[in-house]
Amino acid sequence: MTTANPYQQYQQNIVNTSTPQELVLMLYNGLIKFLNLGVQAIENKELENAHNNIIKAQRIIEEFMATLDMDYDISKNLYSLYDYMHRRLIDANIRKDKEILEEVLGFARQLRDTWAQAMKLAKGVNK
Protein backbone atom coordinates (compact mmCIF):
# COMPACT_ATOMS: atom_id res chain seq x y z
CA MET A 1 0.00 0.00 0.00
CA THR A 2 1.39 3.37 -1.00
CA THR A 3 0.62 6.54 0.85
CA ALA A 4 0.23 9.95 -0.73
CA ASN A 5 2.91 12.48 -0.08
CA PRO A 6 2.02 15.20 2.42
CA TYR A 7 1.24 17.75 -0.30
CA GLN A 8 -1.16 15.35 -2.03
CA GLN A 9 -2.85 14.63 1.30
CA TYR A 10 -3.16 18.36 1.96
CA GLN A 11 -4.67 18.95 -1.49
CA GLN A 12 -7.12 16.08 -0.99
CA ASN A 13 -8.16 17.50 2.39
CA ILE A 14 -8.83 20.89 0.80
CA VAL A 15 -11.06 19.30 -1.85
CA ASN A 16 -12.88 17.14 0.68
CA THR A 17 -13.62 20.04 3.05
CA SER A 18 -14.49 22.75 0.51
CA THR A 19 -17.99 23.86 -0.33
CA PRO A 20 -19.23 23.36 -3.90
CA GLN A 21 -18.85 27.12 -4.42
CA GLU A 22 -15.23 27.00 -3.28
CA LEU A 23 -14.57 24.04 -5.59
CA VAL A 24 -15.87 26.04 -8.56
CA LEU A 25 -13.55 28.90 -7.62
CA MET A 26 -10.64 26.44 -7.40
CA LEU A 27 -11.49 25.14 -10.86
CA TYR A 28 -11.52 28.67 -12.27
CA ASN A 29 -8.14 29.32 -10.63
CA GLY A 30 -6.82 26.06 -12.08
CA LEU A 31 -8.11 27.02 -15.53
CA ILE A 32 -6.30 30.36 -15.32
CA LYS A 33 -3.13 28.63 -14.09
CA PHE A 34 -3.08 26.12 -16.95
CA LEU A 35 -3.81 28.81 -19.54
CA ASN A 36 -0.94 30.93 -18.20
CA LEU A 37 1.36 27.91 -18.27
CA GLY A 38 0.26 27.20 -21.84
CA VAL A 39 1.08 30.76 -22.91
CA GLN A 40 4.47 30.54 -21.21
CA ALA A 41 5.22 27.17 -22.82
CA ILE A 42 4.37 28.51 -26.29
CA GLU A 43 6.62 31.52 -25.70
CA ASN A 44 9.44 29.13 -24.68
CA LYS A 45 8.73 26.86 -27.67
CA GLU A 46 7.96 23.95 -25.32
CA LEU A 47 5.25 22.49 -27.53
CA GLU A 48 4.56 19.31 -25.57
CA ASN A 49 4.27 21.27 -22.33
CA ALA A 50 1.94 23.74 -24.07
CA HIS A 51 -0.19 20.86 -25.36
CA ASN A 52 -0.45 19.26 -21.90
CA ASN A 53 -1.50 22.49 -20.21
CA ILE A 54 -4.06 23.32 -22.89
CA ILE A 55 -5.54 19.83 -22.50
CA LYS A 56 -5.80 20.38 -18.73
CA ALA A 57 -7.62 23.68 -19.37
CA GLN A 58 -9.97 21.92 -21.81
CA ARG A 59 -10.79 19.27 -19.21
CA ILE A 60 -11.75 21.93 -16.68
CA ILE A 61 -14.05 23.59 -19.20
CA GLU A 62 -15.54 20.18 -20.06
CA GLU A 63 -16.26 19.69 -16.34
CA PHE A 64 -17.99 23.06 -16.18
CA MET A 65 -20.10 22.13 -19.22
CA ALA A 66 -21.02 18.71 -17.83
CA THR A 67 -22.17 20.02 -14.46
CA LEU A 68 -24.43 22.88 -15.56
CA ASP A 69 -28.08 22.62 -14.56
CA MET A 70 -29.71 23.31 -17.92
CA ASP A 71 -33.07 24.21 -16.32
CA TYR A 72 -31.84 27.79 -16.02
CA ASP A 73 -31.29 30.31 -18.81
CA ILE A 74 -27.97 31.37 -17.31
CA SER A 75 -26.74 27.80 -17.64
CA LYS A 76 -27.60 27.80 -21.33
CA ASN A 77 -25.67 31.06 -21.76
CA LEU A 78 -22.70 29.72 -19.79
CA TYR A 79 -22.76 26.51 -21.84
CA SER A 80 -22.48 28.56 -25.04
CA LEU A 81 -19.56 30.52 -23.61
CA TYR A 82 -17.80 27.38 -22.35
CA ASP A 83 -18.36 25.71 -25.72
CA TYR A 84 -16.78 28.70 -27.47
CA MET A 85 -13.83 28.69 -25.07
CA HIS A 86 -13.38 24.95 -25.59
CA ARG A 87 -13.37 25.28 -29.39
CA ARG A 88 -10.88 28.14 -29.15
CA LEU A 89 -8.60 25.99 -26.99
CA ILE A 90 -8.68 23.27 -29.63
CA ASP A 91 -7.63 25.87 -32.22
CA ALA A 92 -4.94 27.23 -29.90
CA ASN A 93 -3.55 23.75 -29.34
CA ILE A 94 -3.47 22.89 -33.04
CA ARG A 95 -1.80 26.19 -33.93
CA LYS A 96 0.13 26.70 -30.67
CA ASP A 97 -1.29 30.21 -30.74
CA LYS A 98 -0.77 32.20 -27.58
CA GLU A 99 -3.12 35.00 -28.68
CA ILE A 100 -6.03 32.55 -28.66
CA LEU A 101 -4.98 31.38 -25.19
CA GLU A 102 -4.89 34.99 -24.02
CA GLU A 103 -8.41 35.52 -25.40
CA VAL A 104 -9.70 32.50 -23.44
CA LEU A 105 -7.70 33.66 -20.42
CA GLY A 106 -9.63 36.95 -20.48
CA PHE A 107 -12.94 35.09 -20.36
CA ALA A 108 -11.65 32.80 -17.59
CA ARG A 109 -10.54 35.74 -15.44
CA GLN A 110 -13.89 37.51 -15.88
CA LEU A 111 -15.79 34.36 -14.97
CA ARG A 112 -13.57 33.71 -11.94
CA ASP A 113 -13.86 37.28 -10.70
CA THR A 114 -17.63 37.26 -11.17
CA TRP A 115 -17.89 33.95 -9.29
CA ALA A 116 -15.72 35.25 -6.44
CA GLN A 117 -17.88 38.38 -6.19
CA ALA A 118 -21.06 36.28 -6.17
CA MET A 119 -19.62 34.18 -3.34
CA LYS A 120 -18.90 37.32 -1.31
CA LEU A 121 -22.40 38.65 -1.91
CA ALA A 122 -23.95 35.30 -0.97
CA LYS A 123 -21.96 35.22 2.29
CA GLY A 124 -23.23 38.69 3.13
CA VAL A 125 -26.82 37.63 2.50
CA ASN A 126 -26.47 34.45 4.54
CA LYS A 127 -25.22 36.23 7.68
Q: For residue 117, what is the domain's CATH number?
A: 1.20.120.340
Give alpha helix (H) positions in the chain.
6-17, 20-43, 47-67, 73-95, 98-125
Confirm whether 3 is domain-assigned: no
pLDDT tens, position by position, 60-102: 999 999 999 999 999 999 999 999 999 999 999 999 999 999 9
Q: How many structural domains comprise the chain?
A: 1
What is the reported pLDDT for 17?
77
pLDDT at residue number 12: 73
Average pLDDT over residues 43-49: 98
Confidence of residue 18 (pLDDT cuts 50, 70, 90): confident
Q: Please check whether residue 38 lies inside any domain of the structure.
A: yes
Determine the structural domain holding residue 68 and report its residue range: 13-125
Q: Within a domain: residue 1?
A: no
